[in-house]
Amino acid sequence: MASLLKTTVILLSTLFVMSNFAFAGEKDPVAVLSLAKGKVEYTKDGKKWKKVRRNKFLFDGFQIRTGPDGSAKLTNQKSGKEFTLGGNTLIEVSLTGLKAKQGSLPPAENGNQLVSGLMKKFTKSQSYTTVRRGVSKKRIHVDAIRDVVLTDEYPDFVWDNAGKEYSYILKIGDQTYKIEPTEKAVVRVKIKPFEGKQEFFISVMKGNELITEIRPYKSRGEEKNRTMAWLKGASKDELNKKIEAIKVSYPENSFMLGSLFEEQNIWVAAMDQYKNYLQENPDEVEMTPYLFKTYKELRLDTTYKNELDQYWASMRE
C-alpha cells in the first residue's frame, strides 16, 4: 500500500511538471511593438483592448490595432525583421508570424542588427518556470555566481542572505569588504573598481566566529574559484554604443537593456533592468521567466523559489 501511494505521488508530481513545461513552451514572445504613436491598442483575448503606452512584447494570440492616426513598429522575434504599421490596421500575432486581418502588413525591413540579435535570444526562457522541489537544506551555506562582470555604472554584487543573524566578509583580489547583518533576503554590496579579472571569496560570520565559506565549484572535473571582472577601456566604449543604439530603437525599454547586459555577463544589472520593466508593466507577467533566469545565474535560490510560486499563481488566475 505504501509503495502504491509513493508511486502515485511521483506520477502526479511528474504530470504537474510536464504540464508546466507544455504551458511554458508557448509563452516566449513572438514579436515586440515599439515607437507607438496615436491610437495603438492591443488585446490578449480579442475582447478587452488596452492602449499601448510604451514598448510591448506580444505573444501567441495577441492582436494589435491602430486608429486613423496610429502608427508603430513591429519586430518579429524569429527573423528580427521590422514592419512599420500605419493607420487603420488590425494585426494578429501567432507562432507562425504576423497576419493582417484589416489593412495590410507592409513589406519587411531589416532591423537594427544588435536589436535583432537580442530578439532572437528570447527563447527557452520557460525552463526557469519548471517547478523543482528538492530536499530542504538546513545547514548554513553560501553560494554566488561563478563569473560576473561589473562596471562603473553598475558596480553592485549580490548573493543570498543565509540569515539576519549573519555578517559577511567578501574578498576580491586585495580588496576586503565587511558586511553587517541584514534582514533583507539578498545581500547587496557596491564594489570599488579593480584591475583585470579577480577571484572572490565569501565568508559567513556570526560575531567573530566563522560559520562557513564559499566553496570552489567543479567544472569538467576541475575545482575552480569564482571570478569577477571590471569592464574598462574599449570594451566599455563598445557597450555604451550598444546601449545608445537600444535607446534609439526602443526608448524606455529596460527589458532590451537587460538582455544586452545578460549577453555581456553583467548579471546584476540585467536583473535590475528586468525588475524595472516588470514593475513598470505589471500586466506583462509572461516576461517574468527572463528575470528568473538572472536569479538562477546569480544563485539567488531563495528569491527564485518564492517568486516562482507567485508567478504560477498569477498565471492561473
pLDDT by residue (tens digit) across 173-224? 999 999 999 999 999 999 999 999 999 999 999 999 999 999 999 998 899 9
Residue-level pLDDT at 123: 55
| CA–CA distance, 248 with 241 (Å, rounded to integer) | 11
pLDDT by residue (tens digit) across 76-132? 877 778 889 999 999 999 888 888 899 888 887 876 555 555 655 555 555 666 655
Give exposure, 43-53, as e/b (b: 16+ Cβ within 10 Å).
eeeeeeeeebe
Residue 247 lies in a domain: yes
pLDDT over 90 (residue 311) = no
pLDDT over 50 (residue 4) = no
Contact predicate 179/189, CB 8 Å: yes
pTM of the full structure: 0.75
Same domain for 237 and 313, yes or no, is: yes
Residue 235 lies in a domain: yes
Q: Which of 75, 110, 145 is the last residue of a domain?
A: 110
Question: CATH number for the domain including 193?
Answer: 2.60.40
Same domain for 91 and 212, yes or no, is: no
Range of the domain at 15: 1-28+124-133+231-317
Residue 250 DSSP label: S
CA proximity to 120, closest of 252, 28, 24, 258 = 28
Same domain for 273 and 217, yes or no, is: no
Same domain for 245 and 317, yes or no, is: yes
pLDDT by residue (tens digit) across 265-294? 999 999 999 999 999 888 888 888 889 999
Q: Cell 555581456 sits at which residue?
A: 264
Same domain for 238 and 317, yes or no, is: yes
| CA–CA distance, 296 with 288 (Å, rounded to integer) | 13
- The β-bridge relationship of strands 227-230 and 147-150 is parallel
Total domain count, the chain: 3
Residue 284 lies in a domain: yes
| CA–CA distance, 225 with 146 (Å, rounded to integer) | 8
Same domain for 263 and 207, yes or no, is: no
